[in-house]
Amino acid sequence: MNTIIFNCKRQRRAAPDKEPRMIDRYTVEHLDYGTSKSFEETVIAFEAVTGDASGDRYAQARSGSKNADEFERRMNEIAGSSGFMRFLTLDHGGWLALFGPHIKSRLYIVGNPLIARTMLQHHVEVGLNVPVRLLIYENAAGEVRLGYDLPSSLMSRLNNAEVTEAARKLDAKLAALAEQVCGEKA
């Protein structure tokens, strides 16, 4: 696993044009796991342990729930053995091949509303970073990688202890997922 840190200073300032907006600069940690598996084997392993909440499946489960207990039960039914579900899959390689370059790259939007709730209940802006984006790709050297931005680093700009604590638990769950899929310990 490689950790890449972007933009090491946290700053908050008014935009130079005096508009009613703020610009935050903060540290983001990116985790990148390697695997000896092929791209296809990695995708299969990932999809085998994450539930499919794409299309109307999540919306139907949400709208069909009459109370919190029923919603929780339905989310647990959709989630895979990892506790995560896939809300969206974008095959970058599929559409990019129309323009010539052949790459293997698949972006997943993954999460679980029951996990997201542990952070959103403390700060609404958590919603900008959950569910999480995760990329499985083959780099130019032919190495297969699984990468994502560490949720606790994305949430750091909120300066909220409860969010940070919950986000660190999400960090651990994502690390366990990555290690399970890649077959490698960090």
Q: How do residues 127-176 score in pLDDT, each as one tens digit?
A: 999 999 999 999 999 999 999 999 999 999 999 999 999 999 999 999 99
In this structure, are residues 175 and 168 in contact, taking their beta carbons and an 8 Å threshold? no
Helix (H) or strand (E) holding 13: strand 11-14
Query: Over the stretch 30-69, which tens digit does the pLDDT of each residue have?
Result: 999 999 999 999 999 999 999 999 999 999 999 999 999 9
- In 3D space, the residue among 160, 181, 39 whose CA is nearest the CA of residue 110 turns out to be 181
Whether residue 5 contacts residue 149, with contact meaning beta carbons closer than 8 Å, is answered with no
Nearest to 134 by CA among 94, 99, 182, 100: 182
Place of tokens 């709730």: 117
Closest CA to 183 of 38, 84, 50, 3: 38
- All domains in the chain, ordered by first residue: 2-9+26-182 (3.30.310.70)
Q: List phi, psi (to 5°) of 60.
A: -65, -40
